[in-house]
Amino acid sequence: MEVQKPELLEKLEEKKISVAKAAEAIGFDPRLLGLYLVNDTYPVPKRILEKLAAVVQN
């Protein structure tokens, strides 16, 4: 199942997971993750989307 950026942003918001908490959970720089997660059409690397999807599912 391929995770899409808009879906992931919605799920993070629903679960009230901040960018800082998500970054900590996947071991990533929170500032860089914040830039990736801006609601635009810029693609997020697949590996980051997959790690974030795992965080949202837990």
Mean pLDDT in residue range 17-43: 94
Amino acid letter for position 19: V
pLDDT higher than threshold 90 for residue 39: no
Domain ranges of the chain: 5-57
**Do the Cβ atoms of 22 and 12 come closer than 8 Å?**
yes
Q: What is the DSSP letter of 39?
A: S
Contacts of 57 (CB under 8 A, 6+ apart): none
For tokens 């690397």, the residue is 45
CATH architecture label of 5-57: Orthogonal Bundle (1.10)
pLDDT of residue 20: 95
The chain-wide mean pLDDT, for the chain, equals 91
